Amino acid sequence: MTEWIAAHWRSLLLWALGLFAGGVALALLIAYSGIYNVAASAGHHPWLEAFLKMAKDRSVIFNSRSVKAPELEFAEQVPLGAAHFQGTCAACHGAPGQAVNPVYAHMLPHPPDLQIHAAHWTRAQLFWIARHGIQFTGMPAWSGTGRDDEVWAVVAFLEMLPSMTEADYRHHAGGHSEARNYSAKELVSAGRPRLDLTACSRCHDTTEAAPTSPYIPRLGGQDQSYLKRALQEYRDDSRQSGFMEPVADDLDDEQIDRLSAYYAALSPASSPVSRSASVEERERGRQLAEQGDRARKIPACLSCHTEKGREDYPRLAGQSEPYLRQQLQVFRRGVRDKTPHGAMMSVVAKRMTEQQVLAAASFFASRPWQAAAFPAGAEKEKDSRP
């Protein structure tokens, strides 16, 4: 055998090269002639279907092998993932009790029903798909650059999805938003507001209830200028969030004004103050918040984040600990430094130690919520600033 190869290797090489060149030429010819039908309506031949599925599955498995799942409280993130899924994913993938929109049902490949298919993937693989998307399938990559923390909330939801009933799903995805019966006249003239993107109360607080997850910020009583700035920054893609960017993208200036005014005036539900952290932890946080850390050149948090601060600075007291911690981590990763305000806070957050992040978050979470709309805030002088 080896002798035969040794004697004929030249002709073997020529044959191999010839076959390869012929194959390339044939592929070019088929592509250029246009005889291959790319119509979605034409479908894939079963062997091609199997081949493409094999290539896609193998690619997901191969590329997701380095993904490490963080140790998070997954259950608390389910409402975020569910509400986002309802707003942006369900149109293609369908959801419990909601068939796929007929337009997207005619895509090729068909977007999979995740109530069945989510269970086929591991946690890391689900993350990788939601984070990076899949070429040629219509599955987009995550729209919030650098916000892997948000993708994990979607993963938390997807892991729950196969075991969810329709009622479970509505509960998680609908949050505090209301489904009501519309009269024919309302349907005819205004259309039916669905459990759709811009229903803020699917996630955020109402007069009666706190946000649906501790990873979601309270908005009621927040400063109006801050709320307006946040929505504008989400809309122009300078603040990154795969959850909020699609929502803000649907809003025009007037709607942003109205929403920020609404939430600024909303007196929030009195929710129990978080006491999860230890007393020492909160005490460390209080010191940092009141005095800063001179050695690390960190100014006192309360020099900006109080009811006396600028209207476009956020109030933090009473915000939940997981949300504050997560946002500080986002600042530390440099994900929020594309806006002028974020660039400032990024510098501060990067000077903080991991322990200071926890301490500051637990201190602010343990404080009573200070709202602009509360009587105490009403005496604040409101000069007309140009």
- What is the 3-class SS of 77-120, one letter each residue? HHHHHHHHHHHHHHHHHCECCECCCHHHHCCCCCCCCHHHHHHH
**Binding status of residue 81 toward another protein by CB under 8 A:** no
Piece of 210-218, 293-301, 328-336, 356-364 that binds another protein (CB under 8 A): 293-301
Distance separating alpha carbons of residues 354 and 48, to the nearest angstrom: 51
- Comparison of 145 and 303: residue with beta carbon closer to another protein: 303
- Comparison of 213 and 327: residue with beta carbon closer to another protein: 327
Piece of 2-10, 68-76, 252-260, 297-305 that binds another protein (CB under 8 A): 297-305
Distance separating alpha carbons of residues 219 and 53, to the nearest angstrom: 44
Q: What is the pattern of x (binds another protein, CB under 8 A) and - over residues 88-117?
A: ------------------------------
Q: Exactly one of 309, 329, 333, 377 binds another protein (CB under 8 A); which one?
A: 309
Binding-residue total with another protein (CB under 8 A): 23
> Is the dihedral angle over the CA atoms 312, 317, 322, 324 positive or is it negative?
positive
Structure tokens at 142: 């995550």
Q: Exactly one of 71, 252, 379, 383 binds another protein (CB under 8 A); which one?
A: 383
- What is the 3-class SS of 118-165, one letter each residue? HHHCCHHHHHHHHHHCECCCCECCCCCCCCHHHHHHHHHHHHHHHHCC
The C-alpha angle 65, 67, 69, rounded to 5 degrees, equals: 130
**Binding status of residue 67 toward another protein by CB under 8 A:** no
Q: Exactly one of 155, 348, 359, 371 binds another protein (CB under 8 A); which one?
A: 348
**Binding status of residue 252 toward another protein by CB under 8 A:** no
Piece of 147-155, 304-312, 322-330, 367-375 that binds another protein (CB under 8 A): 304-312
Closest CA to 208 of 167, 266, 260, 169: 266
Distance separating alpha carbons of residues 110 and 102, to the nearest angstrom: 11
Contacts to another protein by CB under 8 A: 292, 294, 297-300, 303-304, 308-310, 312-313, 340-341, 343-344, 347-348, 381, 383, 385-386
